[in-house]
Structures are given as structure tokens and as C-alpha cells.
Amino acid sequence: MVSLTLFSSFSSLHFFLLFLLLCAAGVNSSPSSTPPAKIGKGYRLISIEETPDGGIVGHLQVIQKNKIYGPDIPHLQLFVKHETQDRLRIHITDAEKQRWEVPYNLLPREQPPKLMQTIARSRKSPITVSEYSGSELIVSFTTDPFGFAVKRKSNGQTLFNSSSDASDPFGNLVFKDQYLEISTKLPKDASLYGLGENTQPHGIKLYPNDPYTLYTTDVSAINLNTDLYGSHPVYMDLRNNGGDPSAHAVLLLNSNGMDVFYRGNSLTYKVIGGVFDFYFFSGPTPLSVVDQYTSLIGRPAPMPYWSLGFHQCRWGYHNLSVVEDVVENYKKARIPLDVIWNDDDHMDGHKDFTLNPTNYPHPKLLAFLDKIHSIGMKYIVIIDPGIGVNSSYGVYQRGIANDVFIKYEGEPYLAQVWPGAVNFPDFLNPKTVSWWGDEVRRFHELVPVDGLWIDMNEASNFCSGKCTIPKGKQCPTGTGPGWICCLDCKNITKTRWDDPPYKINASGLQVPIGFKTIATSAVHYNGVLEYDAHSLYGFSQSIATHKALQGLEGKRPFILSRSTYVGSGKYAAHWTGDNKGTWEDLKYSISTMLNFGIFGVPMVGSDICGFYPAPTEELCNRWIEVGAFYPFSRDHANYYSPRQELYQWESVAESARNALGMRYKLLPYLYTLNYEAHISGAPIARPLFFSFPSYTECYGLSTQFLLGSSLMVSPVLEQGKSNVKALFPPGSWYSLFDMTQTIASKGGCYVTLDAPLHVVNVHLYQNTILPMQQGGMISKEARMTPFSLIVTFPAGATEGEAKGKLFLDDDELPDMKLGNGRSTYIDFYGTMTKGTVKVWSEVQESKFALDKGWHIEKITVLGLNGSGEASSVEIDGNPVMGASNIEMYTTEQKFHEELEDSDDKTETVMVEIKGLSLSVGKNFAISWKMGIKG
């Protein structure tokens, strides 16, 4: 929630006490009661044939039945297909009856062939296919027991191997109704990333023997190695063989709860339902892996320009005047602010789509929104899925009339969240999607919000089991914590869905899977069980909300969702949930952010300064220096915490002005990264290995990150430190805050950087052209300021080249693309050769930029080898006369003292050309000669 997840955050103590009670009652608190190491003898491949669409289909038969976790499914259908040049699918299901899969209408993809059990079983022909080759990947099979291996065609490297040897700690394929198991061998030097959402204390690399459980849960993000709000059963595997790096990814598209056991040299999935639906993405670069992954699951949503500005929120803005004061105080403090948020304070009795008539009177709220909208500011409010059970509440009445709620024993399932007793909309039901869209429309007519924040959608429930509204007492009471269950409830253990034979490590303590959520025997549309669809809830709500917002005014929607699944990035941004104001949580936020870029959800960030309890002044200084460079940058705090807006401390305000000041200058770059994410999946914030996959030193680096391919943030993450030890991959790096400062890292090295309290180190890599503007207090204002270009060459080189790009559009449009007459794309190029420096542009779709009148007024070139002044400036082939307003400055650059080499006397200079008026919408070329040292 935000809180609104208070339950998940502030209430983590309460949650922990509940866990202790569960443990005392005999609930196993170890990661999964240890199952037999090997279950059964696996399956035998008894037939295989080609399909008309170029795939192969096979039939598997269980070798020896057993009843551990239930009876084996005797016959399985295997389907294998190279769906694209770089994507392979392996699908295994019951050959005799349809099983639950992630709905094809939620996540569109190719359908596997229909079940062919009768044909397959009657065939006694020998196996004719032992290897199946595609452009990049090869699949090979062993028949008895069945196993498959996926290899990279170019070098024969095995990427996945499901066969089990006697010495392996895992067994062969297991396929039961409520227990599926499969494993793969791994080389010990493979670096794995992904398998979320969880807070990983060891950094971005998966850590052997840490638990990885996937099941969406309202557990505070302060809980380490625990299944949190999202389920992303995908991992990236990065290997380096003799300096030749290659990456691939593996997705198990399955929405059921699962434990994944990573042992370092093997990985085992233990899943409580569904099918095995594996997708392999061949890479071989990390960037191409994410491109291939998002081409299947959906490209990330285009974000409006303003969403890349700074956001302020708090649970506890008790009335509108407080919100007005916050906006005014940001202005007084000269700290940029684009979006003001309301947690549930604006609601009437915590009910969705309502306004509190006393604290947020409608006429005054509308006047406030008119005021902020007139300057380009935006307003977002929270919406929880639970709809208050209240006969006088129109939203509930219409929901009942349209039969939109999840059912238990034929009646709407009763739960408790902030309003008290609630029912949960069933977003798998088309009628619910229409009803939800209508409620969003009604609310937007009441309050013209600019986006929606959907929270508590794991789904979170303050009670467990089958509940009724108590007679004779108020629920909730109105006093005391709102997350204490006040319904009359009974545990539900009577079905195998509520009490499955295998217990995943739910909530990190192996609680029942229906604990504090919807009972898993509850029923969705068309008889779908909550047991199967549980982890899709937030995803399905994101899709419905996206459709609702897009239908309002035809504008580009902005949605922030706490719960996510494979494909959520196509519809929503994400924040990392309820964190703590601690140095550890500051550090963890980087790993979680980087993971979500891999998951195809690039618009991500953490609550700056921590959600609760109070951060220290020093921590808040350092946190805004990191958070100013999150893709999604928002300060957010708990109801029970002291105020922590960035202006509350003058020192934090200074750090905010510095860091956010730079963010607002970088908005055109960030927006271009947003475009790249939308067309190729490329993460906005990336681990360093994305740009330096050959440099193994950065494979586990979780304390620095890149924005795009070449802008590196190296923050202070420890208390009391005024410097930071940062890793610099090979090449030349230039400080963005002081461009005379150079770090030339020949083979890659650690460098100790000065970092006083108000300083964050941000460096730009060589061979880059970075577009920037002059910044401002709000993105709308900053967007209309003149541009500048920073061009970087390798320090001291006599020849070099640089590239950059810029995407500009009308960010109100639902689509983010070229060719609509309301967008412009520019490639920038730079070369340095034979003493001549040249910078030029190539413009596509020029009209939009020309109509806006944007121009470039300054170009700064770094790393030039020179001893003399720049001269002979030409623009578009014409010499610049001395009488023009153009001015040139040459400044000597300095190398970091740790890297000074007495044998290397190379002098490098920075050249600034000011007073330009180059139209962004037209091709230009500017060149000059340098006095090069011989």
C-alpha cells in the first residue's frame, strides 16, 4: 500500500507474533518439510512425432507409481517447439484431461496442440527423434527415464538438463495433480538472477540454499528470503567461458505456488499444481534476453513524461489542507515535485471510489486539482480491491447486482481489509472487468485523478478461513489497529485445495496457503479455483484497471501495482512495498529494482527514506541520493511514522535539490529509456553486467547500477561514510556533476570517491552522447528548456566515436511510437579523427519537435586529446563567423588521484560550445579542429 499495507509493513510485528503462534501450534517453520530426496522413477518416452506447425509432440508414461503427495498422473503429453529463432517452448501436461494453465486471454501466446492421448498411446512405433534443432537452441531427449537437455547451438553449451543421475540430490520428473517436480543441472560458475519477488540480503545474484518461494503474499518487504507481493518464475543465467560471456533465461509459466531450490550446481522446482510450461530464451546478451522475454510476455507500458518526475505520498494526510501545505512547502524549498498522492485518507470510511466529505470536501478538492493541474502537476489516489460490504454503498450494490465477486460455497467470499468486511472482485470474469471500468469512470467524473494506485492485491486479507460478520459488535471497531481481524472466522481445512499434500514455504514460515488471503477453495469465473489463480490476482486487476483508464479520455494510463506477475509490466509500474527506514533496506532496494528490470517491469522504485519507522536525517539524505535515480521516484511514509517529506530537514532538502536537480536535467534521457523499454524491454535501471558482460567482477555487484547503458550511479549506502568505494569497469568515466573529473580504468578497478553528505557520484561512460535539458521544479516546465549534449570519448584517444538518441512525443497518447505525426526520434553521432571533432544528428519524424521549437544551445565534449584551443568551427558546412554569439571554452580535465600514472602524460581537455541554436527537429552537423599534441 502503501501502505495501505500497513498490515504488511507497520504490522509486521503483529504478523510476526501471529507466526510465532502458528509455530507454537505445530506449523513447521523450516523451508518445507523435507520431502524424500527422490520421488519415484520418472517417466518413459514411448512415442514422438512431428506436428503440422513444425513442433514435436510426444507421449510419456509413468515408470512406477507411488503415492507420495498423491497418485502419479499416468500419461503425459510433451510438446516442444522453436517458436522463434531465439525462443524454445517445452510444454508438459496430463495427456488425458485439461489442466489449469495461466489463461491465454490474460497472457496471449500460442496454444499447444490439443490432447492426443488416444493416438499417442496406440502407437508402438520406435522413437524417431532424439534431437530437435532450431536456429539457436537444440533439444535432446533421453527416453528411459525421460529427460531433456537444451543446448546452445553455437558452442554446444548445455543450458538446462533435466536428467537425474544416481549421485544427484534430485530425482527425475514427477507429475501429480498437486505436486510437480523437475530439476536442472548447472555449472558452478553460472551466475543466476531473478526468481522473485523477494528481498535478497546477498544481493542480485541468487545465493545457494537461500529459499526461493513464489506465491503472492502481503508480507512486508523487510522480511528477507520470503515470498512477497509478486510471482516471477523466471531466471537469467550468465556464464563466462574463457572471456566469452553468454546469457540465457528460463521461464516456467505457472501461476501455482512453488518452491525453487537452488543448490549452486542444480535447481529444482516443486510446484503444487498446473503444468510445466517452459520457455527458453537464447540471448546471448543480457539485453537480448530481456528483449526476447518481453516479446513473449508483453512489452513494458509506455509511461507519461510526468511520471518520471518526483512523487510525494504519505499515509496520514488527514485532510486536504495538509496536502496543500505539502505542495506549497516543496515549492518554498525549491525541491522539484510532479505528483502528489493520497493513500486512503481521502476515502469515506476506507471505501474505494469515495471521498471523505469532511476532510476532503468535493468542491475544495476540485479547486485544488484545478490549481495543480494548471501548472502541470498530477494527483494519484489509492484503490484496494476489497469492496466494503455495505448495503448503502453504491459500488457494492452494483457489484452484487452484476455478480462480480469471488464465491465460496455459492456466496461472495467474505474477508476483511481496511473498510471492514469486504468482497473481492473476480477480475477473471468479463462482467467484473466491465463493472470495474464503470466504477473507475464514475470516480473519475467525481475526482479527475491522473492515475491509480492498486494495492493490497495479493490479495491481502486481515482474516483467514470462512468468516461471517459478527452480530452485536462493530467491525472494525474504529479504535485500535485496523488490521486486527474482527470477523467471526473458522479455519478451512476440509479440501485438498486448502490443505495440499505438499506445503510450500509460504510467507517464509510454511503457513497454510490460505493464510491472510482468499481461501484457496474459493471459486472464480468458470469454476477456476483460487488455488490455481491466486498469484494472478494483482495481474488481472492491473489489466482491468489499465483498460478502464485508457477508456476514459484516450490518454496514456499510469498504474502503480503492488502485486505483479509475469506480464504485469505491460500495464503497470511497481514499487517494492513496505520497507524500513534502515541502511540495510536502502541497500536491498537496489537489488529488487534491478530484478524488476529483468522481470519486464522497468518502472520501479522503493519508498524513499523507508515506509516506517522514522529514518534518521543522515539516512534520508543518502536515500534521496539513490532514490532520485530510481526509475520510479517517490517518497512515502507510514501513518504511524513522523513526517519525512524531503523539506523536513534542511540538509535533506539540500541533497534533494542536488540529486533531483540532476534527475530533472536527465528527464529527456530517462524518457528515451522509457521508449527503449517499451519497444525492446530494455530495463531503465540495469546491473553493470548488462553493459559489461565480459567483466566478471561486476556479476554480483549490487551497490551500484546503470541508467541505460552508460550512466552509472555509485551511492553511499553505509552510515557515517563520506566516501564510497566504487567499481569502474574498463574504460573512461566522467563525473556528471563535475565534468572535469575523469576516471580512466584500464582493466577495471575499484576507486574510492569523495562523497560528502550532499554528494552522489554519477559517472558517464565513454562513447556516449547524453541529451539533457536545464531542469526545473516540474517536468512540464523542465521539458520546454533548451537542450544540451554531452559527448564522451575515451580519455586521451586520438580517434573515437560516440552515439546517443532522443525520443520525444506527446506523452498523453496511449501509444508510444513513431509514425503518428506526434513524435520525433533523433540519433546523435560524434567522431574524433585526425584532429577534427564532429557531432551531428539524424532526425526521424521531424514535425513534432519542430512544432515544439526545441533547440540545442550547448555541446560539451569530454576526453579530447589536445594541447591547443579549438578552432575552425563549422555548422552545417558553414564557418562560424567571429561576430556570432557562439562561444568556445577549453578546460583541462583531471584524472582521479588513485589512477594517476606518472608514465602517462596524456592531457585531456573538455570543450564547451555555448550560444548555439540548433533545432532539435532538423539534421545538423557541427565540427571543429583541435590542436592535437603530436
Cα distance between residue 23 and residue 511, in whole Å: 9
DSSP class of 621: H
Residue 645 a catalytic site member: no
> Which residue, 590, 587, 649, is CA-closest to 614?
649
Cα distance between residue 150 and residue 390, in whole Å: 55
Give the phi and the psi of residue 45 in degrees, each rounded to 5: -85, 115
Cα dihedral: 621, 622, 628, 633 (round 10): -90
Cα distance between residue 901 and residue 246, in whole Å: 34
Inter-residue contact 464 to 415 (CB < 8 Å): no
Catalytic residue, from 578, 625, 645, 912: name it.
578
Inter-residue contact 145 to 44 (CB < 8 Å): yes
The CA distances from residue 855 to 387, 640, 868, 923, in Å, are: 51, 48, 29, 12
Radius of gyration of the chain from its Cα atoms, rounded to whole angstroms: 29
Q: How many CB atoms lie within 10 A of CB 569?
A: 29
Cα distance between residue 805 and residue 815, in whole Å: 19
- Residues near 126 by beta carbon (within 8 Å), at least 6 away in sequence: none
> 446-459 burial, b if ≥16 CB within 10 A, otherwise e?
ebebbbbbbbbbbb
* Three cell numbers written together for 149: 537437455
* Three cell numbers written together for 290: 530481456
Inter-residue contact 681 to 599 (CB < 8 Å): no
Residue 458 a catalytic site member: yes
Give the strand pairing for 451-454 and 559-561: parallel
Catalytic residue, from 259, 384, 455, 811: name it.
455
Catalytic residue, from 458, 811, 845, 912: name it.
458
DSSP class of 40: S
Q: How many CB atoms lie within 10 A of CB 429?
A: 22
The CA distances from residue 543 to 298, 428, 437, in Å, are: 12, 10, 11
148 alpha-carbon distance from chain centroid: 31
Cα distance between residue 731 and residue 862, in whole Å: 13
> Which residue, 521, 566, 517, is CA-closest to 543?
566
DSSP class of 305: G
> 315-331 burial, b if ≥16 CB within 10 A, otherwise e?
bebeebeebbebbebbe
Provide the CB-side half-sphere exposure for 363 (13 A, CA). Answer: 0
Q: Kindly provide the residue ranges of all beta strands, DSSP E only, lying in 488-579, ordered along the sequence.
A: 488-490, 559-561, 573-575
Give the dihedral sign, CA 898/902/906/910: positive
Cα distance between residue 246 and residue 286, in whole Å: 8
Cα distance between residue 628 and residue 623, in whole Å: 8
**CA triplet 421, 422, 423: central angle to 5 degrees?**
145
Cα distance between residue 684 and residue 663, in whole Å: 13
Cα distance between residue 12 and residue 17, in whole Å: 8
- Residues near 812 by beta carbon (within 8 Å), at least 6 away in sequence: 304, 555, 556
Inter-residue contact 704 to 713 (CB < 8 Å): yes
Q: How many CB atoms lie within 10 A of CB 74?
A: 14
Cα distance between residue 322 and residue 328, in whole Å: 10
Helix axes 667-680, 286-297, angle to 10 degrees: 60
Q: How many CB atoms lie within 10 A of CB 36?
A: 10
Catalogue the active-site residues.
455, 458, 578
